[in-house]
Structure 1
Amino acid sequence: MSAMAASAQEGLELRGAVSERDINDDLLGAPTNSPVIDDAEPTPPRNSRPPAAARSVPVAQDELVGSREGPAILDEPERSGRMGPDAIRTGGIETRGARLDGDGFAPIGIRAGSFILRPRLEQGIGHTTNANSSTNGRSSTFSETALRLSAITDWSRHSLSIDANVDWRKSLSGEELDELEGGIRGELRLDIGEGLDGTVGAGYRVREESASSPSAISGVEDRPLRHTLSGTAGISRDVARFRFGLTGDVHRDTYGDAKLLDGTVVSQSERDSTLATARLRLGYEISPAIRPFVEAEAGRRFYDERSDSAGYERSADRYALRSGVELDLRENLNGEISVGWLTERPDDERLAAISGFVTAGQLSWSPIRGTIVDFNAATEVEGTTSAGETGSLLYSASLAMTRELRANLSGRAAVGLEYRDYAASDAHDRVIWGEASLTWWMNRYAGITGRARHEIQKSNLPGRDYDETSVYLGMTFQR
């Protein structure tokens, strides 16, 4: 009997301790690592395992690979609206968006309603051996300012992301340099339900035309500005293992006037055009990680002026057929890559069609924690208003590796290749470039960045070869 009495007494003391702890938690607030329990459900036994849905807390890719590009949000609830007993408790507003991997130099982000904002500012001094990337370009020492802002929602079902940037380079000595480039892009992803997903996006970009552009005017004091407006809308649906998708895109380019050295202003309005396309995609899921697809595209390029100054009608019909594969191995490898054939046929029979092999891709691979390898490829149709010429196909590809060398030291190395194939001609341009940079973080908010880049263009057309080497040193600020 004495043993039973002792056991009962011990149980009373234990229940009293638990009750006192619960009362203190109610008065002082539960610790941030306490589990969140849905009061509408009965409390499970303390030694029971949570259901599978509660254990599968979604983790952002950046959190797994240690990228510095942005914070990982780990407190997104399940779509059912319930959270299991071991779900992560949401912290205060001022701490939302902080990384939880112990990286003391990653950006925290700023909470603004349902958005997480991540601003970044770079300010420094650079030097280039070829200020305008031209055959006779001269060296220049310049000040460079770069501002980046990304914003993303933490909604449980849909998502909205916005990215904006402004880059300004102003010469301090040497060749005159005053370049401003910037843009903004937003994308809304919708989980409509019943297997339907939707995407809506829009963007704007402005930049000065490069002196190495095949349509560039020689002997100019101010090169024309190129304004680009883009919009996209698409919808896709999963039916068994098949995915059907339909996407419409609109892309408009307008050009400002060019000012010659003698003060003459040359209008570039005959180059203004709008490209409208529709793409139909059919994919088949071999596994949750691999989905091959085929895609057909049809569209038309409309020039604002029916005929240019030389009397050519340059509006054209566009057709393309591609085949590729989508990959989703979570944090290890994701993205898509495709190859195919594209043609643009101008209305004027005197102009040759722009046709050729095309490729596109965006792949991100994380072989080990703290390392990200990115591959990008694209093919662009470049129009022209030169008499008797149609334009060219520009192929571009790049491979970049970002690595956290130490907790407060990150590095990036990249190489790229561009190839311009002129229509109905054996003429071509070839560009090869390489870049390396290091950032040493003094604390979570400020670091020192150094960067070096070399670029070479070779062409079988006269007067188009150039090479450029540039270096940069500056401060990086982030939040």
Structure 2
Amino acid sequence: MRSPMRASILSVAALLSATAALAQEAEGEAEPGSGIDWSVGLRGSYASNSITGGKPSLALTPEVSLTLGGESSTTTYGAGSELTVDGTGQARIDDLHAGITSTLRLGSTTTLGGAINGVLTQMDRGDSSLPANTLIAPTVVDGTAQASVTQDMGRFDGKLTLDGRRYMMGATTLNDLSTVDNTHRSYWEGGATLRLGYEITPLISAFVEGEASVQKFDAPDPTVLAYLDGREYQLRAGLSYTYGSIISAEASVGRGWLDYVDGALTDTQSWVYNGSLTLRPDETVSLTGALETTLDPSTSTPGDTDMGVTLSGNAAYQVNPWLTLRASSAWDRTVTLGTGAASWSLDAGVGVDYRSSRHIVWSADYAYGRDYAPPTPLNDTHTVSVGVRVNR
């Protein structure tokens, strides 16, 4: 009798073969510059976790996008998903997303931008952040909307951004079929960011950036019996450096405040740091890095505040038109300001892409992750993946 995993592999492989045939037929039918793009990928993985052990999985990853452009505007519609089946035959939606991004140039000095995105995700039931006896992990719906206007005023420039967010977490189902309500983790959020810059030289600019946002939760925290609603403010100053398309970098430092609506909760302030780096010395090499600081209600100590620092980087090298090497890394540290408790995670990975034809790309990846979130013991994860993607 075939296992559920083997049956899934065979059925998805058949679908991928049919898709490849369609791609070959469409090569001569698609109109150049039509703006339509699509791909479908099949990836097999084996993850070994120091707490939950090892398990195989199979993922199907379709993507589709449509870009419409004119002399002064560009709009892109996109959608995709990642559907996973594990070794026991249990299927879940790792990721289901759709969005619209648009830019409109009103003149030589004014640009409008907008984006609407929605994502539905579901964690693995063995995730360390879930109860050990989880049967069905909660689903999360995360929707965002953003609008911006950029104005160039000679040596001065300004950008105003308005954004909103709706985050909803469903219930966690345990092995005894009881549920854990996560309504207190769902919230509405809205905010605005104003950035003013001054060109010191053609390459170097100084800027100040202020942010204000409001967060409203659906239910009170079950431990402190209070809503964690709050207002967050950040004020930072920094420098940016741009050298054509080769180097783009910026760094800023400032102060952040989290002001809780409920007077029983302790308001918090802290130093915050942000930065980014993009380096493209030629068409074959790409290096990116980012530093971000956040202040949020604590997820480990109810009524407290978490300060998170994330440092990430990516690198890609195109050896030739058929072969690309990739690497990525990320380090994240979260400190609960009231208690001083700290948790952290480290992720690193390497990969290779091989294009065997115009439409087909093969890939192989190795990823390592280590996370420590007391009282959960130190957790190491090794993941090996191989896959193939058919592109339009």
Give the structure 1 partner of residue 117 of structure 2.
203
Give the structure 2 partner of residue 43 of structure 1.
none
For the pair 1:477 / 2:390, whether they are aligned, the reply is yes
Give the structure 1 partner of residue 46 of structure 2.
127
Amino acid at match of 2:258: E
Amino acid at match of 2:235: L
Residue 95 of structure 1, CA deviation = 6.0
- Whether contact under 8 Å (1:149, 1:164) holds in the other structure is yes
Distance in 2 separating the partners of 1:277 and 1:346: 16
For the pair 1:374 / 2:297, whether they are aligned, the reply is no
Deviates more, 1:325-334 or 1:253-262: 325-334
User: What are the within-5 Å matches in structure 2 for residues 195-274 of structure 1?
Assistant: 195-209=109-123, 216-274=130-188
- Whether contact under 8 Å (1:291, 1:325) holds in the other structure is yes
For the pair 1:142 / 2:57, whether they are aligned, the reply is yes
Give the structure 1 partner of residue 87 of structure 2.
172
Distance in 1 separating the partners of 2:158 and 2:306: 32
Amino acid at match of 1:360: N
Residue 129 of structure 1, CA deviation = 0.5
Residue 209 of structure 1, CA deviation = 4.4
- Whether contact under 8 Å (2:128, 2:376) holds in the other structure is no
Residue 299 of structure 1, CA deviation = 2.1
Give the structure 2 partner of residue 3 of structure 1.
none
Give the structure 1 partner of residue 254 of structure 2.
340
Q: 1:254 to 1:350 in 2, by over 3 A?
A: same
- Whether contact under 8 Å (2:184, 2:220) holds in the other structure is no
Residue 318 of structure 1, CA deviation = 1.1
Identity of paired residues, percent? Answer: 18
Amino acid at match of 1:468: T
Give the structure 2 partner of residue 316 of structure 1.
230
- Whether contact under 8 Å (1:455, 1:469) holds in the other structure is yes
Partner SS, residue 270 of structure 1: helix
Distance in 1 separating the partners of 2:143 and 2:239: 28
Q: 1:396 to 1:149 in 2, by over 3 A?
A: farther
Partner SS, residue 339 of structure 2: coil
Residue 309 of structure 1, CA deviation = 6.3
Q: 1:259 to 1:427 in 2, by over 3 A?
A: same
Give the structure 2 partner of residue 13 of structure 1.
none
Amino acid at match of 1:142: S
**Paired residue for 2:380, among 454, 467, 474?**
467
Residue 384 of structure 1, CA deviation = 4.8
Distance in 1 separating the partners of 2:143 and 2:46: 32
Give the structure 2 partner of residue 442 of structure 1.
356
Q: 1:364 to 1:162 in 2, by over 3 A?
A: farther
Partner SS, residue 381 of structure 2: strand
Distance in 1 separating the partners of 2:270 and 2:128: 19
Per-residue CA shift, 1:402-460, capped at 9, x if unaligned? 1111221111011211111223122111211111111111111112211111111134x
Amino acid at match of 2:199: E
Distance in 2 separating the partners of 1:357 and 1:280: 19
Name structure 1 gaps, 5 residues minimum: 1-91, 98-110
Give the structure 2 partner of residue 85 of structure 1.
none
- Whether contact under 8 Å (2:224, 2:303) holds in the other structure is no
Per-residue CA shift, 1:49-99, capped at 9, x if unaligned? xxxxxxxxxxxxxxxxxxxxxxxxxxxxxxxxxxxxxxxxxxx995634xx
Distance in 2 separating the partners of 1:266 and 1:444: 48
TM-score by length of structure 2 reads: 0.83
**Paired residue for 2:68, among 153, 170, 179?**
153
Distance in 1 separating the partners of 2:127 and 2:186: 16
Per-residue CA shift, 1:124-179, capped at 9, x if unaligned? 2110002xxxx6222111112222334433322122234433112211259x6744
Partner SS, residue 465 of structure 1: strand
Q: Provide the aligned C-alpha RMSD in A.
A: 2.8
For the pair 1:352 / 2:271, whether they are aligned, the reply is no
Q: 1:269 to 1:296 in 2, by over 3 A?
A: same
What is the number of residues matched between the two proteins? 365
Choose 1 or 2 for highest CA Rg.
Answer: 1
Distance in 1 separating the partners of 2:288 and 2:126: 26
More strand by share: 2
Q: 1:291 to 1:355 in 2, by over 3 A?
A: same
Partner SS, residue 412 of structure 1: strand
- Whether contact under 8 Å (1:146, 1:167) holds in the other structure is yes
TM-score by length of structure 1 reads: 0.69
Distance in 2 separating the partners of 1:223 and 1:449: 29
- Whether contact under 8 Å (1:201, 1:232) holds in the other structure is yes
- Whether contact under 8 Å (2:301, 2:336) holds in the other structure is no
Residue 220 of structure 1, CA deviation = 1.9
Give the structure 2 partner of residue 188 of structure 1.
102
- Whether contact under 8 Å (1:227, 1:255) holds in the other structure is yes
- Whether contact under 8 Å (2:299, 2:306) holds in the other structure is no
